[in-house]
Structure 1
Amino acid sequence: MKNTLSIFFICISMSLFSQKEQINGPDTKLQLNVELIDGKPVYSVSYEEIIVIEKAPLGFVTNEGDFVENLVFVEAKKDRVSKTYTQDKIKQSQVTYKANTLRYTVKDSKDRKFSVLFQVSDNDIAFRYEISKWGDTRAIVVEQEHTGFSFPEETTAFLSNVMRPMTGFARTAPSYESAYQADQPITEQTAPGGYVFPGLFKVNNEFWVLLSETGVRSLYPASHLSSYKDGTFYVEYPNEKENNGFGSSGAQMGLPGVTPWRTITVGKSLKPIVETTIPWDVVEPLYEPSQDYEYGKGSWSWIIWQDASMNYDDQKAYIDLAAAMDFKYILIDAWWDERIGYEKMKELIDYAASKDVGVFLWYNSNGIVNDAFQTPLNKMNTSIERKQEMKWLKEAGVKGLKVDFFGGDKQETMRLYEDILSDANDYGLMIVFHGTTLPRGWERMYPNFVGSEAVVASEMLVFVEDVRKKEAYNASMHPFIRNAVASMEFGGVVLNDYLNRGNESGQKRLTTDAFQLATGVLFQNPLQFLALTPNNLDDAPQFELNFLKKLPTSWDETQFIDGYPGKFSVLARRHADTWYVAGINAEAQPKKLDLNLPFLAGKIVTLINDDKNSETFTKTIKVPKNGKLALTVQPGGGFTLVNE
């Protein structure tokens, strides 16, 4: 009897410290397990019964105590979530999201509870911490998370390192402008500052895993992945040196409170990675749009003609370019307030309106956290000045702003993003961010948000020779990583042979025209400011200009066709009944592709491609009835297909 009782109490003890719960996605292929092991919460993920994330830690540390160990299981509740929504600024306009949910609740020795809410769909996991009220405690600071992602050791990574704070141009870093490295062993991922979200991983040479976060707003800092430590990548808060060392790197939170969602997308191919909508599935709009915002293409002088173009006559020429190309907008960049002036700018805005072209104006985001000196300055970082400026902008007829030079992920910077967006909506203004962090669900959360840079974008092609040499390599990464989780305002499609005003010598473009046109499809953003110049109306082939005139910037459907990050990429996007298929080749040899395009089977399509001499051409072809089409893409080249 004594032995029986001992065994009974041992079993009870084990159930307290090893309480295990399991949840599958609706199709049962994706599985998540969570449990307490010796009082420490851990989770694991498998796909088709193969482990892709090993037992990884959960928990956090606050100024009220440590919630990483010595925890006790309270309860586990399972449920389902299902919703359908419309979103016109992402890769798919109509989305149906179905997931199974698990709320796993634990407590510490003082009876302070928190839950981890997991939502598991067919290829995606989203999870967050939900912290209850703790007696009379209503305010805490989350100082550190213990959230981790533990992969099998043979995993390779596709990561971009976090830029060192208060470095780079005018001490504006980090600005999310580091390139991704392909297929690196995770054991070598030891960058001191860690790695930005999103991060892509190849597990067991069979599975793909994409990590990111979403739902970040003024109530929490944005985070990133740590360097590889003891078999795990951890969620890491911003470097305390950001914003010139001012402000906490932790999270100030009222109770009850929730953290942002961390997301895991898993697939046996890259299809679920490219097509995921999880960043928007688990968030909701934070306010109603004050008006119907229109998206489209725009012209932009600064990217090729640079600072010298900030004068009345050049901007008028770019308005004429936008009108000739049937573009909706022009972006007028830094220094406009000093070199054109508010009064003359109103004349330009009126002139643009007469051509049915809307105006976006550039602003410096601040004047206090870095040394960026371009003006307008000190107009966006305080409420009083911001609202005064936006009142003038609305009265002048401006359609939107591009706000630059943020350089940090602290909670106070997230609050600045939200304040700018919220105030801008009150005045009917759209917002693009530059020199900025990754947008984390913002396309859905903020109705007037229309894009962020957060990538090695077109300006680096102008400034850095190595970026020009790696343009195709970098471009082949984005559909699988950066642009898979958020819109990406790249500012590309260059048709000049040289990336300068003279277009005769200097920074030579190393990719073909067909490559450039393809990126207009591959890079998704609801508002695209393209790098065309007025001379392109005369020196670019008419079929290329016609393609750009018709090119949409909003999509109803996106499909992965083929590719491998760092090598080549082929996607298909649909706008209404028109399909655009685009691909680029980042390898040194011509790439022979055997494409499966059932949605174009038997249809007449317009092909733009490069010949063996890398000269771009166009012709009309018919896709075979079986939907199979063979194409060759030249090194640094690309192609597009459009059904008539």
Structure 2
Amino acid sequence: MNNSLRNLLAALLLATVSTGAFAEQNKVISPDGRLVVNVEDHAGCLYYDVTYDGKQMMQPSLLGVVANVGDFSQNLVYKSVDKRKVENSYTMRSTKASLVHYKANEMSLTYINDKKLPVVVKFRVSDNDIAFRYEFGEVNDRTHILIDQEKTAFRLPSQTTTFLSPQSDPMIGWKHSKPSYEEEYTPDAPLTAKSKYGKGYTFPCLFHVGNDGWVLVSETGTHGNYPGCRLSDYSADKGYTVEFPMQGECDGRGASNAAFALPGATPWRTITVGSSLKPIVETTVSYDVVEPMYKASEQYKPGRYTWSWLIWQDNSANYDDQKQMVDLAATMGYEYVLVDGLWDQQTGRERIAELSRYAQSKGVSLMLWYNSNGTANEAPQTPRNCMNTVIARKKEMRWMQSIGIKGIKVDFFGGDKQHVMQLYEDILSDANDYGLQVIFHGCTLPRGWERMFPNYVSSEAVLASENVFFQEHHAKQEGFELTMHPFCRNTVAAMDWGGTIMNRYMSRDNKSRHRRYTSDVFEMAAAIVNQASIQCIAMYPNNLSELPQHEIDFLKSVPTTWDETRFVDGYPGKYAVVARRHGDKWYVAALNGTNKPLSLNLSLPMFAGKQVTYHYETADKKSLWPKSNVKTTKVGKDGKLKIVMQPMGGNIVLGEA
């Protein structure tokens, strides 16, 4: 090599290093080879990017955290990489699949910051899912670490459109009880759109990367170890970044940053990627990377519940009304009745014990509502201050256990700070000691809790069915909402929507106030599409004489636990078709969220050449609602079945596996 060539190569190398283009690069690839995560450092900063089938799904995005012991987002120096295969199977009683076989490739990257302190960034990549977190060993003589800021970012390609729900301002809404994940989604919005309150977006966040595919971003494994996080508004240079709770949450009480003992780790950030919506609907990543935190104290029972409050509201927490709901549950073969707020005033504790005994004689168990309260909000509904301290909580739970109560619904939390996440964990752990299952309302998104806490059932964390009652606007939006959630909110965690509503008018007499805009079969199908192991079927005594027998028969038999879930067809906010298997029977549910008829040619290979039961609807010029029908039909040998859904209507196909 002559001198001039040597000088040229030396100059090129110097230019490469000085511009930061020279980088340590490591890759981790999914078992099927289609999903690739590439991690590089540039000028001391660490970035990752994601491709699927060779297409860019996430552009280079910043990694790192800033802690009290040092900055782990810049001036980083590569130390080592460790790669291994991860494979395990686990069973679940309360999610979209009863048995999951998880296979992933793991990469752990160790970097040193300018104080010579290490951080490990761990990635796990399965065929359609990415999970990553930051891990810390012992740091000098410290026993714990404070994370003051996450720099973690998500930079989507420029052609991406978004399906997001905004984070609300703190301490607004009903009696200063927000944020509670109850804002409206905006579909097909540009990346550059600003969030409603300027506070970013709640998890999960769904993105459509043009013709290349779909990306779902969320987090899992958060409990008392970390605050609940969200995404910022979009910025052109950073994309979306992980944000901690606002200081004003919880009426300003508590820290907004994170703290955990050493050695320890942050929760997992998750990314689900696919060329279609199939991996989005079928993902189990929320549960794949977490572990149970304790054993179930008993074998918890799934099921259906009746709930007076949705239509009858506050005044129905009296003994006579609740006895009617018990009788209705017994007639329908339902396992539970949820007695909502003010039961302690309108019925009283002694008569609640009497009602519980009566329910048990009918084969039904009660669940009771509680206000989380303390200083978290100003909500006046009682019972209050029974769940916010350990002494009060255990006293109350001991009493419930003594009278045969089987579950609680705890409402109004008002923030995502770490001390609130610890409260969720404490309620769940204590409830398990007394054989109680738990539903949360006015609350945060659950993050892997179905696997972590065996007595956890579901959370609201959605603009739920109560709003269909409250405002006609939301009654008109029900079709949009329930065709949005299978692809976003409900795909990452169980969702207590709060009721398959069979009243056609939002009133006790079923004749006054505004009407329901969805059809009967839409509501029935929603009981399949909405996933929670204990689910509300919001029937009322009047429905027994008003509904066709085939509707009642279906609502008596609809299961709430599933062995397998498959995406069939759909588009967020427009329509959704989901197939779920319970034992040896498949339930295919289709929802039309639009105001126009919709014809589909479904691919149902599980029914190829078989006879199936088909619930469908036909237009009825004499009624505001289409007529529901049921018949037996045969699916083609190719597994194809043509269906027609009425506006805001639905279809159900049932058959043996």
Q: Check whether TM > 0.5.
A: yes
Name 1:193's counterpart in structure 2: 199
Task: Give the counterpart of 2:23 among 18, 22, 44.
Answer: 18
Distance in 2 between residues matched to 1:413 and 1:562, nearest whole Å: 38
Secondary structure of the residue that 1:280 maps to in structure 2? helix
User: Can you list the C-alpha shifts for 1:515-540, whole angstroms capped at 9, x where unaligned?
Assistant: 10010010000000221111111111
Task: Give the counterpart of 2:527 among 505, 515, 520.
Answer: 520
- Give yes or no for the alignment of 1:155 onto 2:160: yes
Q: CA deviation at 1:64?
A: 2.6
Asked if 1 retains the 8 angstrom alpha-carbon contact of 2:304 and 2:535, the reply is: yes
Alignment of 1:346-495 (within 5 A): 346-495=353-502
- Please tell me the residue identity of whatever aligns with 1:314: D
Change (3 A) 1:8 1:507: closer
Name 1:84's counterpart in structure 2: 89
Q: CA deviation at 1:210?
A: 0.5
Asked if 2 retains the 8 angstrom alpha-carbon contact of 1:279 and 1:486, the reply is: yes
Asked if 1 retains the 8 angstrom alpha-carbon contact of 2:616 and 2:652, the reply is: yes
- Give yes or no for the alignment of 1:558 onto 2:565: yes
Q: CA deviation at 1:206?
A: 2.4
Name 1:57's counterpart in structure 2: 62
Larger deviation, residues 543-552 vs 3-12: 3-12
Name 2:318's counterpart in structure 1: 311
Unaligned stretches of 5+ residues in structure 1: none
Asked if 2 retains the 8 angstrom alpha-carbon contact of 1:17 and 1:73, the reply is: no
Name 1:39's counterpart in structure 2: 44
Alignment of 1:261-340 (within 5 A): 261-340=268-347
Asked if 2 retains the 8 angstrom alpha-carbon contact of 1:394 and 1:428, the reply is: yes
Change (3 A) 1:18 1:598: same
- Please tell me the residue identity of whatever aligns with 2:233: S
Asked if 1 retains the 8 angstrom alpha-carbon contact of 2:225 and 2:259, the reply is: yes
Change (3 A) 1:4 1:157: closer
Q: CA deviation at 1:253?
A: 2.0
Task: Give the counterpart of 1:507 among 486, 493, 514.
Answer: 514
Distance in 2 between residues matched to 1:616 and 1:288, nearest whole Å: 44
Secondary structure of the residue that 2:192 maps to in structure 1? helix
- Give yes or no for the alignment of 1:222 onto 2:234: no
Q: CA deviation at 1:65?
A: 2.6
Name 1:548's counterpart in structure 2: 555
Distance in 1 between residues matched to 2:465 and 2:599, nearest whole Å: 28
Asked if 2 retains the 8 angstrom alpha-carbon contact of 1:16 and 1:73, the reply is: no
Secondary structure of the residue that 2:163 maps to in structure 1? strand
Matched positions, count: 644
User: Can you list the C-alpha shifts for 1:333-383, whole angstroms capped at 9, x where unaligned?
Assistant: 000011111101100000000000011000001221110111110000001
Q: Tell me the TM-score normalized by structure 1.
A: 0.98
Distance in 2 between residues matched to 1:438 and 1:100, nearest whole Å: 27
- Please tell me the residue identity of whatever aligns with 1:468: A
- Please tell me the residue identity of whatever aligns with 1:196: T
Name 1:619's counterpart in structure 2: 631
Asked if 2 retains the 8 angstrom alpha-carbon contact of 1:333 and 1:362, the reply is: yes
- Give yes or no for the alignment of 1:632 onto 2:641: no
Name 2:653's counterpart in structure 1: 641
Distance in 2 between residues matched to 1:408 and 1:51, nearest whole Å: 35
Name 2:613's counterpart in structure 1: 606
- Please tell me the residue identity of whatever aligns with 1:570: V
Asked if 2 retains the 8 angstrom alpha-carbon contact of 1:363 and 1:379, the reply is: yes
- Please tell me the residue identity of whatever aligns with 1:378: N
Distance in 1 between residues matched to 2:155 and 2:12, nearest whole Å: 34
Q: CA deviation at 1:4?
A: 9.9
- Please tell me the residue identity of whatever aligns with 2:288: D
Distance in 2 between residues matched to 1:452 and 1:503, nearest whole Å: 28
Asked if 1 retains the 8 angstrom alpha-carbon contact of 2:55 and 2:212, the reply is: no
Q: CA deviation at 1:626?
A: 1.7
User: Can you list the C-alpha shifts for 1:97-125, whole angstroms capped at 9, x where unaligned?
Assistant: 00001101111121100011000011000
Distance in 2 between residues matched to 1:465 and 1:274, nearest whole Å: 29
Distance in 1 between residues matched to 2:349 and 2:499, nearest whole Å: 28
Distance in 2 between residues matched to 1:499 and 1:639, nearest whole Å: 23
Asked if 2 retains the 8 angstrom alpha-carbon contact of 1:171 and 1:371, the reply is: yes
Secondary structure of the residue that 1:563 maps to in structure 2? strand
Distance in 1 between residues matched to 2:119 and 2:21, nearest whole Å: 16
Asked if 1 retains the 8 angstrom alpha-carbon contact of 2:500 and 2:536, the reply is: no
Distance in 1 between residues matched to 2:83 and 2:206, nearest whole Å: 29
Name 2:130's counterpart in structure 1: 125
Distance in 2 between residues matched to 1:103 and 1:28, nearest whole Å: 19
Distance in 2 between residues matched to 1:190 and 1:181, nearest whole Å: 10
Secondary structure of the residue that 1:144 maps to in structure 2? strand
- Please tell me the residue identity of whatever aligns with 1:334: G
Asked if 2 retains the 8 angstrom alpha-carbon contact of 1:303 and 1:459, the reply is: yes
Change (3 A) 1:185 1:12: closer
- Give yes or no for the alignment of 1:245 onto 2:252: yes
Change (3 A) 1:41 1:219: same
Distance in 2 between residues matched to 1:201 and 1:517, nearest whole Å: 29
Distance in 2 between residues matched to 1:595 and 1:273, nearest whole Å: 19
Name 2:214's counterpart in structure 1: 208
Distance in 2 between residues matched to 1:52 and 1:464, nearest whole Å: 39
Asked if 2 retains the 8 angstrom alpha-carbon contact of 1:493 and 1:517, the reply is: yes
Task: Give the counterpart of 2:537 among 521, 524, 530.
Answer: 530
Change (3 A) 1:4 1:623: closer
Name 1:114's counterpart in structure 2: 119
User: Can you list the C-alpha shifts for 1:532-564, whole angstroms capped at 9, x where unaligned?
Assistant: 111111111111111011100000000000000
Runs of 4 or more consecutive aligned structure 1 residues displaced over 3 Å after TM superposition:
1-17
Secondary structure of the residue that 2:501 maps to in structure 1? coil
- Please tell me the residue identity of whatever aligns with 1:270: L
Secondary structure of the residue that 1:530 maps to in structure 2? strand
Q: CA deviation at 1:138?
A: 2.4
Secondary structure of the residue that 1:188 maps to in structure 2? coil
Unaligned stretches of 5+ residues in structure 2: 621-625
- Please tell me the residue identity of whatever aligns with 2:34: K
Secondary structure of the residue that 1:27 maps to in structure 2? coil
Q: CA deviation at 1:8?
A: 11
Secondary structure of the residue that 2:189 maps to in structure 1? strand
Distance in 1 between residues matched to 2:210 and 2:136, nearest whole Å: 35
Q: CA deviation at 1:88?
A: 1.4
Percent identity, aligned pairs only, is 50
- Please tell me the residue identity of whatever aligns with 2:333: D
Asked if 1 retains the 8 angstrom alpha-carbon contact of 2:522 and 2:649, the reply is: yes
- Please tell me the residue identity of whatever aligns with 1:55: P
Distance in 1 between residues matched to 2:102 and 2:211, nearest whole Å: 29
Q: Tell me the TM-score normalized by structure 2.
A: 0.96
Name 1:588's counterpart in structure 2: 595
Change (3 A) 1:598 1:9: closer
- Please tell me the residue identity of whatever aligns with 1:259: T
Q: CA deviation at 1:86?
A: 0.6
Distance in 2 between residues matched to 1:357 and 1:139, nearest whole Å: 47
Asked if 2 retains the 8 angstrom alpha-carbon contact of 1:515 and 1:637, the reply is: yes
Distance in 2 between residues matched to 1:262 and 1:321, nearest whole Å: 43
Asked if 2 retains the 8 angstrom alpha-carbon contact of 1:408 and 1:437, the reply is: yes
Task: Give the counterpart of 1:171 among 176, 185, 207.
Answer: 176
Distance in 2 between residues matched to 1:288 and 1:412, nearest whole Å: 23
Q: CA deviation at 1:612?
A: 2.0
Distance in 2 between residues matched to 1:16 and 1:379, nearest whole Å: 59
Distance in 1 between residues matched to 2:281 and 2:455, nearest whole Å: 24
Secondary structure of the residue that 1:502 maps to in structure 2? coil
Asked if 1 retains the 8 angstrom alpha-carbon contact of 2:70 and 2:115, the reply is: no
Asked if 1 retains the 8 angstrom alpha-carbon contact of 2:521 and 2:617, the reply is: yes
